[in-house]
Structure 1
Amino acid sequence: MTLPARSARKRATILSAGQQLFLANGYQGTSMDQVAATAAVSKQTVYKHFGEKRELLFAIVTDALDTTVGSFGERIAALADSADVEADLASLAGDYLRAVLDESVVQLRRLVIGEANRLPELARLYYQHAPQRTLAALSDAFGRLHQRGLLHAPQPSLAAEHFAFLVVGRPIDQALFDGAPKVLADLDVDTYARAGVDAFLAAYGPR
């Protein structure tokens, strides 16, 4: 028991150090020597857990997205059983917008976009684990709500796309250029998210 737990702690420390360095210096500007020094472990330990720098970056992206999107997916799934769709959509939209505007999420998105030409498989991984996964969960929930007569969404996947872009489309684009703190300083998240929900329900509310 002790060795696996210790190994897990070292892995988490390496992931944290790698993420810090990749976000600060970029993929090309970060070496495994730097990761080892920042994590206070030997270079051999880094290579034992992650065979190469590319593998470490993929693990960082996967872990970060599983943590963020995984817990949020449970919220979306629960929406299918909502008794107050308007209120629950508004709450979900506000939390969704805050999640995508978290500075670490924005920086990770920038990193992936910056490496998309060199590591197209990383870009695909990010898309599958974040936007595509979220849209699929929203589509499932909206399909269920349509069946219950609480939304009119005969094309739930299209409704999911409209909801996502009404809520986060402009802020996330601006955050990529200006940074999340600047966007959040100028944005009333709940009011903006609620406006997106109102527009969504005007199109997809029950008939």
Structure 2
Amino acid sequence: MITVRIWFEKRDEASYISLLDMQRVMQRVLKRSGLPVWHTLGFNPHIYMTFSCPLSLGQESLCESVDVKTEAEAPDFAQWQQALNAIMPAGIHVFRVEPVQMKADKIAYACYTISYPAAARAVLEQYNALAAAPVEKKSKRGKKEIDLKAYVPALELKEAGERVEFSVCLPAAQELNLNPALLTGFLEEKFGLSAAEAGILRTALLTAQKTPFC
């Protein structure tokens, strides 16, 4: 049995599909595609699926993936890609299908491009002058205070049409996973920048060695 990784982009209106709904979407798409995908055994068989580092609601991504299994001896991955894209909902595009090379626990960092309206530039520059940027991170283990300055020392701003943007690379490991919403939330609380006006696009997943996760 081969484990197959389906890479896809999640853009525009698709960014508002939750993880639970995304699982339903993929179940339906894979069933409709007729691809030889392996189902779990038992009373209620379903397609085995594992998502790598799922996104938060409202965030876009260029590098989402879901793993499935197949008993096909020599899968035609180009045909898989074509079959899936033919029935994918708007905003989701499969750009690569391949055998799994790394397990999801190899992910250590996630990189993002965050953008705001151009008028926010002067306010964003104030972040760079701060000595600390404390935020409260909530998890199943409880609450923990994090200094964002340890991970985002400064915002390197650049123009992007009518918006201004900057890139960040945040921990995304099992031990520590920082959502970029912590940063946009801090900017709203500290400077009054509406987090709703922030565009968050995940651009890469990296290993502990800062090499691409694949």
TM-score in same-fold range (> 0.5): no
- Normalised to the residue count of structure 1, the TM-score between the two structures is 0.24
- Normalised to the residue count of structure 2, the TM-score between the two structures is 0.23
